[in-house]
Amino acid sequence: MERSQVAKLLADVAAYEFHKSKPFNLDPQTEKAFFGALEKHHPVASSLGSSYPLLYVTGPEERDVRLTISQINTHKIRGASTFVIAEQNASLERNAAEVPAASSGYRSFYVPLPRTDDTLLCTFSAMAALQLLALKMSIKKMRYLDRIGVPMHGVHPDVPKNVSKSITVD
């Protein structure tokens, strides 16, 4: 299959799975295979509702920690995996790491920030951690799309999209 065909197929799969936009230019045989594979054998988006990742960033104040623990527990029972960026807090770390009953695929990760005991300063150190996370995710996505041969995917960590819009709007 040529690179352009692979790119079109990926775009068609994404359009169908996320927007229910049926490809209009498929021949009958390809259409049958396309929908047969997606709906019966390989449901692309069927696992999106299970073990979805949620990222929590919280300040050191006890009220914020209690609210974050409440949110973590609320989403864990619904199938979410937990990723926390916060100052070291034993209660928060323990609640994030605890695997819910009858859970398969639950993951948790705790990124401890330097202790400041100040919500505003904690926000700045959390932003640095989030920027590094965004960079790593962008590089990983770029390498994946390059590897599977998607041309002109527009994912490059050094060339952000819509940068001119964010500069000129202000």
Q: pLDDT band for position 80 (50/70/90)? A: confident
**Which has more pLDDT, 108 or 2?**
108
How much is the pLDDT for 167?
53
- The full set of domains in the chain, from first to last, is 1-48 (no CATH), 50-142 (3.40.50)
pLDDT more than 90, % of the chain? 33
The 10s digit of each residue's pLDDT in 3-35 is 666 666 667 777 776 666 777 677 676 676 666
| Residue type for position 102 | A
Asked whether the whole model's pTM tops 0.75, one would answer no
Mean of pLDDT values over 89-115: 90
How much is the pLDDT for 170?
47
